[in-house]
Structure 1
Amino acid sequence: MSAVQLEVLAPGAYASLQDGGRRGYRRIGVPWAGVLDTRLMRIANVLVGNAEGAPVIECFDGGLLLAARGGPLRLAVAGDAVLEIERGGERSALAPWRSLTLGDGELLRLRRMSGGRIAVVAVEGLVLTPVLGSVSTYARAGLGGLDGPLAGRALTTGMLLPAQAARADGERMLPLPPQVDEGPIRVVPGPQADHFSAAAFATLLGEEYRVSAEADRMGLRLEGPALEHAGAREIVSDATVPGAIQVPGNGQPIVLLADAQTAGGYPKIATVIGADLGRLAALRPGQVLRFATVTAGEGEHLARAAEAGTRALLAGVRPLAADGIDLAALQAANLVSGVVHALAAEYRPLTAAADQAAAPTPPEPR
């Protein structure tokens, strides 16, 4: 057992150990599991100095509280989280999208999410034993996570995660976090498109759906106009994948996520493309979404574009300045917009031409 450990003082709403997933076993009924948003995993790991696919803690909303035990530990948080660090009884706010070092006995608290519902915490040198090639926790089958009697369980109060002591090099940060895509969730029709009427597709693509309270790592149940079946409301069970949109007899769609079953008997009207699956999984209950259709070829192009965007983000990771302020990032961003000239007759954005036109006319000399 490692002398340096990370203690879970509170797991929050739901926290678990994940990585890229348990690939290659769906044919025998073992789901992928793994993080819901691989981009967050990769960013957090690069920030802390791990390999991109190293194990991480995935958590939802807020309430996660962690403490370093036995020595300094380096962590990094990816996601729009409101963080707090406690040192010597003093609490201070901390920005996400960066790494940090916790001294022995110091605490990191994820208070809440300011955007989305998923955050990922990477721990430098987290030591875990893979099961079927992955440490990902799949609680329904007791796979992954920690060894022994705690195997396959989500994180609980008192769990100790073995890691390595923090190195002496400095902290890192992501200067400009990923931009949130507010567009529709894109889908490829099928694989059981012929089980639905034309009206069902018009409804799926033309109406809004709301994420219900039944939303977890297995899937999202959506609420909205019912999707009309064109025949039998069930099929002979066949393969499913994360992103598949099943439609049970009540016509309310269910989008499958990482922990979903490997086969099912509800027809699937469409499948969410991989490039959009992470942001779909981050939607909170009550949030509204719309769908748009793309071809399989367009989905592949969007996947390549998303990967290029992620690699650009990772290439932008840089050392954190000693004072914690990245002036280059601040100066590269448009921090103020909508400025108006107080003397202008009509308020409008301030430009050099507008400034000159709005300036008062100097008095004539006497």
Structure 2
Amino acid sequence: MIEILSSSALATVQDQGREGYLRYGVGTAGAMDRLALAVGNLLLGNPDDAAGIEIPVFPFRIRFLEDMAFAITGADCLARLGERQVLPWWTMHAKQGDVLTIGVPTSGTRCYLSLAGGVDVPVVLGSRSTQLRGQFGGFNGRQLQKGDVLKASGLDARAAASQDALHAAGFGTVPPEYSLPSPQALPVADAGETTVRVLPAAEYECYRPESLEAFWREGWKVTPQSDRYGYRLAGPNLVSTHAIEKRSHGIVPGVIQVPHNGQPIIQLRDAQPSGGYPKIGTVIEADLWRLAQARIGTKIRFVQTTYPQAVAALEELAGYLGRVRNLIGLYRSSRH
């Protein structure tokens, strides 16, 4: 078990998301950076669908109420377990009473705390993820608060995961940004900009040529009005060739909509499953983890891609996870 010591808001329990319920008006929720959570679970020997804690506001502090293995992935945070430094993308063991402090990231914006066995909360509609809009799932359907006590999963699963993590102690992996090169933008992206690949969407051809050129050329600033529901961007006004009136229709995380003010919104994990704004593009699934780590005030650059290239990017992502899984397996087998 762990106790939340921090009063920082917005930390939530998340897994890989709630699939198959968009038709009923239930959004996907889930980790913004699914890749980081997936690697945290691999490092600990957890099931792929185990839940962790997504942390977007720092510092964040917890106390371990029992001995437990854990890992921190995602944003490169300055973390300490008592007086010991905690490396990112690494497995460590905490003793009962140890306090973990996760400081402000040096890069990225969200980190993930994974526990051996996964965070033990009820499965609701096939997922342990917190659905903030509907106030269900996760820990009582809300953000974590100071004084909350969370359990790891059942004893057998936790014991097995802890044993796996024991053999992985002192072992970690290379963050994905070093193994999965960033897409190349033209003109070349500046340092600190996040580059993601985008497929043109249904109303793409409804925008003026100069607006489409600016969409691909310019960096789009992530405004303070951004959150898990969506990133509101600031940049050149995107102007349509004619008035676009649409009924509400289905949308998914990654869809880029353009409201009447011409400033795009990228729908994210907590977005509602329908909307009526025209769609100019969609960030491909393989790049949503990059998007999740974009900081407020930084810029996002869009790179046009094709459907076959988007599929290949997903395969590349799966290849990275496969390599991580294999390396962890080899390390554990050498420790037995």
TM-score (norm 1): 0.80
> How many Å apart are 1:105 and its aligned residue?
1.0
Tell me the equivalent position of 1:178. Answer: 176
Q: Is the 8 A contact 2:32 2:228 kept in 1?
A: yes
Question: Could you report, residue by residue, the CA deviation over 1:116-173 in whole angstroms, capped at 9, with x for unpaired residues?
Answer: 1011111112322100010100111011112xxxx11011111111125664534252
Say whether 1:140 aligns with 2:140: no
Say whether 1:78 aligns with 2:73: yes
How many pairs were matched up? 309
Question: What secondary structure, in the 3-state scheme, does the structure 2 residue paired with 1:277 have?
Answer: helix
> How many Å apart are 1:203 and its aligned residue?
1.2
Q: What is the rounded CA distance, in whole Å, between the counterparts of 2:175 and 2:303 in structure 1? A: 26
User: What is the letter of the counterpart of residue 152 of structure 1?
Assistant: G
Q: What is the rounded CA distance, in whole Å, between the counterparts of 1:140 and 1:174 in structure 2? A: 35
Tell me the equivalent position of 1:37. Answer: 33
Structure ranking higher on relative contact order (CA contacts 8 Å, 6+ apart):
2
Question: What secondary structure, in the 3-state scheme, does the structure 2 residue paired with 1:115 have?
Answer: strand
Tell me the equivalent position of 2:141. Answer: 152
Q: Is the 8 A contact 1:195 1:232 kept in 2?
A: no
Where in structure 2 are there 5+ consecutive unaligned residues? 184-194
Q: Is the 8 A contact 2:91 2:172 kept in 1?
A: no
Question: What secondary structure, in the 3-state scheme, does the structure 2 residue paired with 1:20 have?
Answer: coil
Choose which of 294, 304, 312 in structure 2 pairs with 1:293. 304
Consecutive aligned runs of 4 or more in structure 1 exceeding 6 Å deviation: none
Q: Is the 8 A contact 1:61 1:113 kept in 2?
A: no
Say whether 1:120 aligns with 2:120: no
TM-score (norm 2): 0.87
Q: Is the 8 A contact 2:11 2:57 kept in 1?
A: no
Tell me the equivalent position of 2:258. Answer: 247
User: What is the letter of the counterpart of residue 153 of structure 1?
Assistant: R
> How many Å apart are 1:233 and its aligned residue?
4.3
Greater Rg, structure 1 or structure 2?
Answer: 1
Q: What is the rounded CA distance, in whole Å, between the counterparts of 2:46 and 2:70 in structure 1? A: 10
Q: Is the 8 A contact 1:20 1:35 kept in 2?
A: yes
Tell me the equivalent position of 1:110. Answer: 102
Say whether 1:98 aligns with 2:109: no
Tell me the equivalent position of 1:25. Answer: 21
Worse-matched range after superposition: 5-14 or 298-307: 5-14
Percent identity among equivalent residues?
A: 33
Q: Is the 8 A contact 1:237 1:265 kept in 2?
A: yes
User: What is the letter of the counterpart of residue 99 of structure 1?
Assistant: T
Question: Could you report, residue by residue, the CA deviation over 1:220-261 in whole angstroms, capped at 9, with x for unpaired residues?
Answer: 011100111122244211111100001001100000111001
Where in structure 1 are there 5+ consecutive unaligned residues? 323-366
Question: What secondary structure, in the 3-state scheme, does the structure 2 residue paired with 1:314 have?
Answer: helix
User: What is the letter of the counterpart of residue 98 of structure 1?
Assistant: W
Q: What is the rounded CA distance, in whole Å, between the counterparts of 1:304 and 1:224 in structure 2? A: 32
Question: What secondary structure, in the 3-state scheme, does the structure 2 residue paired with 1:275 have?
Answer: helix
Counterpart mapping for 1:212-291 below 5 A: 212-291=223-302
Tell me the equivalent position of 1:341. Answer: none
